[in-house]
Amino acid sequence: MAPGRFVRPSRGLYLSVGTVDPMGEPVPYPCAVTWMERAQCRGEDPSLWFPSLGTDPVKALVICSICPVREECLNYARAHVETVGVWGGATQQERRKR
């Protein structure tokens, strides 16, 4: 991938060098700054937001509750039809109800 190209464009992630994407992978090329870089969850273990069946996502929900970009995260999940995990302080079941 050439410098300046988007990272994982099919998922819509536009992050800058030195950050990690929501799956915890380093971003190798510079891209536009987004709400993801300001997220409270940045640097946390991504598995917290994708708990196993029957696992309580309480730690992710607590982190989301103090996040300055919670609304943007929830909007992202809705726009990209994220069907699993915690996004914007809402579990997949909660997002289906809204």
The domain of 16 spans 9-97
For 77-98, what is the mean pLDDT? Answer: 88
Read off the pLDDT of residues 11-35 as tens digits, 9 standing for 90 and up.
444 445 566 666 666 655 555 557 8
- Per-residue model confidence (pLDDT) at position 1: 36
- Residue 36, domain member (yes or no): yes
Report the alpha-carbon distance of residue 56 to residue 75 in Å, rounded: 23
- Residue 29, domain member (yes or no): yes
Report the alpha-carbon distance of residue 50 to residue 63 in Å, rounded: 14
In contact, 52 and 81? CB cutoff 8 Å? no
- Residue 61, domain member (yes or no): yes
Express the helix, strand and coil content of the chain in percent, nearest 5 each.
Answer: 35, 5, 60
Q: Which residue has the higher pLDDT, 24 or 87?
A: 87
Mark 40-70 as b/e (b = at least 16 C-beta within 10 Å). Answer: bbeeeeeebbbbeeeeebeebbebbeebebb
Q: What pLDDT band is residue 91 in, cutting at 50, 70 and 90? A: very high
- Residue 81, domain member (yes or no): yes
Q: What is the number of domains present in the chain? A: 1
Tally of residues, the chain: 98
pTM here?
0.64
Read off the pLDDT of residues 34-86 as tens digits, 9 standing for 90 and up.
788 889 998 898 889 888 867 789 999 999 999 999 999 999 888 888 888 99
- Residue 48, domain member (yes or no): yes
- Residue 2, domain member (yes or no): no
Which residue type sits at 83? T
